[in-house]
């Protein structure tokens, strides 16, 4: 059996609403080290987006350095990784030739996709590990000397076909790849992976591999087949990820080619939570909240004016991230903007304000409110005429 752990999308150095998550990321990586000690995998695979940006903060680089030293150096577990769309291939690939001899393989160039690593599992059972770094299609076209590769799908398909052609022997093969596979469930925090044309890739592209370890999407999920999977991100990085169960995949490839995937939950130092309600209600509940150290996003449903909401909530929730008014978040169809503007010009001030009032509060004005508004508008009109 060959056994490895598949993880991705750490985004080390990430901030959420301006607050650093480095302490939480360090905690999650400590839990990953504990899992590695328990599972004793034959390798650790990281499918891209190690860092949150091409030039990561020094503290994030130091954290990654400590992790590699502990896992690959102290524990002698081979680590194989690729850059994702948030990483810099050149920076992440620094000293990759030297590190490869130390048990850390970084597939940072297109041509590295044709240089698999052979690793041994139990009883001498071997597997081939391939890695395709996240690069633009034109870079693949240049490497393969082709002029017909303009989309991520065509580029990845060409690379995978070339890898298959060069394979020798019956060894099972594992591919590291950072891509958007068709049908995948996206999250708010994922950066657009390709500008212009279609960014998605059909799962058939990976049919030649025993298991494909994907990165990019932050929700753990299969991608068209049980052997093509996203491990998901290390932590929740947006409100849309609050319900995600963050985990890493333990993958077991048996001698007969069967693949078993076991998801291991990674405990979090603090949870990300979303609270919704009127300010007074939220403040009343906050005093008895046993998890006030969590990261908190708040949606207020108050109809009237709200003063110092952030400061009042921040008194109870020291890691409060963001406060917004739920009723304001209404959709607007910009494709019909000109027609709406013309329609607005034909309406009275009372009608326009009534619409505005309902968009803010979620309820129409009552008779008393309309009478007050009429009096205010009349007063304003008298003032204009006096000028």
From CA 297, how far away is CA 199, in angstroms rounded? 31
In the 8-state DSSP scheme, what is residue 73? Answer: I
Mean pLDDT of 12-17: 96
Cβ atoms 35, 5 nearer than 8 A: yes
Mean pLDDT of 20-45: 97
Q: How confident is the model at residue 136 (pLDDT cuts 50, 70, 90)?
A: very high
Is the confidence at residue 336, as pLDDT, over 60? no
Mean pLDDT of 170-180: 96
266-275, 311-320, 361-370: least confident range: 361-370
Q: How confident is the model at residue 337 (pLDDT cuts 50, 70, 90)?
A: low
Triad 201, 207, 208: Cα angle to 5°: 125
Residue 82: other Cβ atoms inside 10 A: 33
Which burial class, exposed, middle or buried, applies to 104 when counting CB atoms under 10 A from its CB (0-12, 13-18, 19+)? buried
Nearest to 229 by CA among 242, 213, 216, 243: 213
Is the confidence at residue 242, as pLDDT, over 80? yes
Is the confidence at residue 8, as pLDDT, over 60? yes
Q: Can you give the pLDDT at residue 93?
A: 96
Q: Can you give the pLDDT at residue 338?
A: 57
Using a pLDDT cut of 70, give the percent of the chain over it: 92
Q: Can you give the pLDDT at residue 222?
A: 95
Mean pLDDT of 246-266: 96
Q: Which residues contact 91 (CB under 8 A, 6 or more apart)?
A: 54, 55
Q: Can you give the pLDDT at residue 330?
A: 46
Q: How many helices (H) and strands (E) does the chain have?
A: 11, 19
Cβ atoms 387, 371 nearer than 8 A: no
Which burial class, exposed, middle or buried, applies to 61 when counting CB atoms under 10 A from its CB (0-12, 13-18, 19+)? middle
Is the confidence at residue 196, as pLDDT, over 70? no
Sequence spans of domains, the chain: 2-265, 272-328, 334-386
Q: Pull the structure tokens for residue 336.
A: 């019909």
From CA 107, how far away is CA 132, in angstroms rounded? 6
Identify each DSSP E strand in 183-233 by its residue range.
Answer: 200-201, 211-215, 221-225, 228-230
E strand or H helix at 126? strand 126-132
pTM: 0.83
44-58, 162-176, 306-320, 332-346: least confident range: 332-346
Backbone angles phi, psi at 202, to 5 degrees: -75, 140
Q: Can you give the pLDDT at residue 226?
A: 96
Q: Give the homologous superfamily in CATH for domain 2-265.
A: Metallo-dependent phosphatases (3.60.21.10)
Residue 39: other Cβ atoms inside 10 A: 18
Is the confidence at residue 195, as pLDDT, over 60? no
Q: What is the pLDDT of residues 140-173, one digit of tens each?
A: 999 999 999 999 999 999 999 999 999 988 899 9
Q: Can you give the pLDDT at residue 232?
A: 97
Is the confidence at residue 362, as pLDDT, over 90? no
Q: Pull the structure tokens for residue 289.
A: 């909240």
Mean pLDDT of 194-198: 52
Cβ atoms 123, 97 nearer than 8 A: no
What rounded mean pLDDT belongs to the chain? Answer: 91
Which residues are bridge partners to 178 per DSSP? Answer: 215
Cβ atoms 275, 297 nearer than 8 A: yes
Cβ atoms 341, 317 nearer than 8 A: no
Mean pLDDT of 258-274: 96
Is the confidence at residue 269, as pLDDT, over 90? yes
Q: Can you give the pLDDT at residue 166?
A: 93
Q: Can you give the pLDDT at residue 363?
A: 83
Q: Can you give the pLDDT at residue 379?
A: 79
Q: Indicate the CATH number of 272-328 among 1.10.3470, 3.30.160, 3.30.70, 3.40.50.
A: 3.30.160
Q: Can you give the pLDDT at residue 341?
A: 65
Q: Can you give the pLDDT at residue 310?
A: 96
Q: Can you give the pLDDT at residue 331?
A: 43
Residue 27: other Cβ atoms inside 10 A: 17
Is the confidence at residue 333, as pLDDT, over 80? no
Cβ atoms 198, 151 nearer than 8 A: yes
E strand or H helix at 335? none
């Amino acid at each position: 059996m060959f056994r490895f752990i598949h993880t991705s999308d750490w985004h080390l150095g990430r901030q959420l609403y301006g607050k650093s998550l480095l302490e939480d990321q360090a905690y999650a990586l400590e839990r990953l080290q504990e899992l590695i000690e328990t599972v004793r995998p034959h390798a650790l695979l990281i499918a891209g987006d190690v860092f949150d940006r091409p030039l990561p903060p020094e503290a994030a680089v130091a954290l990654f350095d400590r992790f590699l030293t502990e896992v690959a150096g102290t524990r002698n577990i081979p680590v194989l990784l690729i850059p994702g769309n948030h990483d810099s291939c050149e920076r992440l690939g620094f000293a990759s030739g030297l590190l490869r001899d130390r048990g850390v393989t970084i597939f940072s160039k297109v041509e590295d996709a044709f240089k698999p690593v052979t690793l041994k599992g139990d009883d001498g059972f071997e597997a081939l590990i391939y890695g395709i770094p996240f690069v633009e299609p034109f870079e693949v076209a240049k490497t393969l000397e082709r002029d017909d590769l303009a989309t991520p799908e065509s580029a990845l398909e060409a690379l995978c076909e070339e890898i298959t052609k060069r394979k020798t022997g019956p060894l099972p093969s594992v591919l590291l790849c950072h891509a958007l596979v068709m049908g995948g469930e996206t999250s708010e925090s994922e950066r657009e992976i390709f500008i212009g044309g279609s960014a998605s890739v059909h799962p058939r592209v990976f049919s030649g591999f025993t298991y494909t370890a994907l990165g990019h999407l932050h929700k753990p999920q299969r991608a068209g087949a049980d052997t093509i999977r996203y491990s998901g991100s290390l932590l929740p990085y947006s409100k849309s990820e609050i319900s995600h169960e963050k985990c890493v995949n333990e993958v077991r490839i048996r001698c007969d080619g069967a693949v078993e995937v076991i998801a291991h939950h990674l405990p979090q130092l603090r949870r990300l939570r979303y609270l919704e309600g009127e300010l007074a209600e939220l403040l009343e509940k906050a005093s008895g909240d046993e998890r006030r150290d969590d990261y908190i996003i708040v949606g207020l449903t108050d109809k009237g004016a709200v003063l110092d909401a952030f400061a009042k909530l921040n008194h109870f929730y020291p890691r409060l991230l963001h406060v917004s008014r739920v009723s304001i978040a209404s959709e607007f169809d910009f494709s019909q903007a000109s027609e709406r503007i013309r329609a607005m010009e034909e309406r009275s001030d009372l009608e326009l304000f009534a619409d505005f009032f309902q968009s803010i509060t979620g309820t129409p004005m009552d008779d008393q409110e309309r009478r007050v508004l009429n009096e205010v508008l009349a007063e304003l009109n008298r003032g204009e005429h006096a000028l």
